Structure 1
Amino acid sequence: MEFIDEHGITVKLDLNQNTPKHDHVLMLTKYKDQYLLTHHKRRGIEFPGGKVNQGETTIEAMHRELYEETGAKAKSYEMIGTYTVCGDVPFSKDVFYVEVETMDHNQHYHETYGPVLTSTLDEIKDEDKSFLLKDACILYLVDYIKEKK
C-alpha cells in the first residue's frame, strides 16, 4: 500500500513483512485498553519509536525505545509490517503492536516528556499531535490493529 504524507513524500506499507531487520522501530502500544503514546519535545504527541543502535537487534531497540520514552515494559508484541518513507534518503521502520504489562515512572524520558494515555486518538488536540499522529499510513495501522484485535 502507498500513502502520501503531509510533506508530499510517498510512504509504503508492507503488511506481509514480518522479519524485523530495519534501522528504525515504531510501536503501536496499548496499556489497559488505552493507547500509550509519548510526548516528543519537538514534534508533539506520537507513538513511541526510534532508531536501532549499532550492535542492537530490532527487538532490543523496540524494548529500549518503549522504556526510554514511556517507562513501559512489554507484555507481548508482534511485528505487523514495515513502514518505508521514500524521501531523498529512504528509510524503513519495523512496526510492532505492543501490549504493555507495566509502566515505571522514569526520572528522564530522553527526547520526550514521557507517556500519554488516551482512550481514542480523537481526544488529543490536533495542535498537540505530532505530524506522525496525523499520517494516513499510521492512522491506517491504528484501524488495522483495531480490526485485528
Structure 2
Amino acid sequence: MFVFEDYYGNQVRLSFADHPFAKAPDHVWIVCRFQEKWLLTDHRERGLEFPGGKIEARESPTQAAVREVLEETGGVVDELTYIGQYKVGEALVKNIYFANIKALKPRQNYLETNGPVLLTELPTNVREDSRFSFIMKDEVLVYTLAEIKRRSLCSNAFSGFS
C-alpha cells in the first residue's frame, strides 16, 4: 500500500489489491488507451484528465467505468481491467481501471467535458502543467502507470513519463 498526500493535502491510500477499501466504491477512474495514444477528456473546470466519475444507483463499478468513458470521451471500451483502489481521506473510494478503447463515437454532448483529447505521450511535468486537472497531479497517476506497465497491459506507452 502507498500513502501520500494529494494535490490539496488530503491523505491518499492506494492499493493494487482486490478492493482493499470497499467492495462497493463511490467512484471510478479509468486510464484509457486508443490506437497507441492516451485518451483523456478535457473537463471544463479542471482541465485534462482521464475519465471517471460517480457510480450511479443500481450500477456496478464496471458499468460506471464503461459509461463514464463513453459520456466523457465517446470511447467504446473493448477491454476493461481492474487495477486497484484508492481512498481519499476517510470517505471517497475510487476503483481504478485500465481500458483499451476500440472506437471513438462523436457525441452531441460530452456532459461536463469538452470531449476527447488524444496524447501520444503524457508530459513528464504533468504536476507543473496548468493544462492538467488536479486529479492527474498526485502519486495515483505515477503508481498506476507503473502498475499498468508491470502487468504489461500496454506496450511502448511509458516513454517520456516517470
Quick check: TM above 0.5? yes
CA deviation profile, 1:27-68 (whole Å, cap 9, x unmatched) = 011111111000000000000000011111111111111100
Aligned residue number for residue 100 of structure 2: 99
Q: How does 1:35-50 map to 2 (within 5 A)?
A: 35-50=38-53
- Any idea what SS the aligned residue of 2:100 has? strand
- Any idea what SS the aligned residue of 1:108 has? coil
- Any idea what SS the aligned residue of 2:87 has? strand
Aligned residue number for residue 128 of structure 1: 131
- Any idea what SS the aligned residue of 1:122 has? coil
Q: How does 1:1-149 map to 2 (within 5 A)?
A: 1-18=2-19, 21-86=24-89, 90-122=91-123, 126-149=129-152
> How large is the Cα RMSD of the aligned pairs?
1.7
Bigger helix share:
1
Aligned-pair CA distance for 1:26: 0.4
Query: 1:20 touches 1:59 (CA, 8 Å); kept in 2?
Result: no
Whole-Å Cα distance in 1 between the matches of residues 23 and 77 of structure 2?
17
Give structure 1 stretches of 5+ with no counterpart: none
Structure 1 moving runs of 4+ over 6 Å: none
Whole-Å Cα distance in 1 between the matches of residues 8 and 40 of structure 2?
23
- Any idea what SS the aligned residue of 2:4 has? strand
Bigger shift: residues 103-112 or 17-26: 17-26
- Any idea what SS the aligned residue of 2:130 has? helix
Greater relative CO, 1 or 2 (CA 8 Å, sep 6+):
1
- Any idea what SS the aligned residue of 2:58 has? coil
Give structure 2 stretches of 5+ with no counterpart: 153-162
CA deviation profile, 1:93-115 (whole Å, cap 9, x unmatched) = 01101000111011100000000
CA deviation profile, 1:88-134 (whole Å, cap 9, x unmatched) = xx210011010001110111000000001101110878110001111
Bigger shift: residues 50-59 or 114-123: 114-123
Aligned-pair CA distance for 1:20: 5.8
Of all paired residues, the percent bearing the same amino acid is 34
Whole-Å Cα distance in 1 between the matches of residues 114 and 146 of structure 2?
26
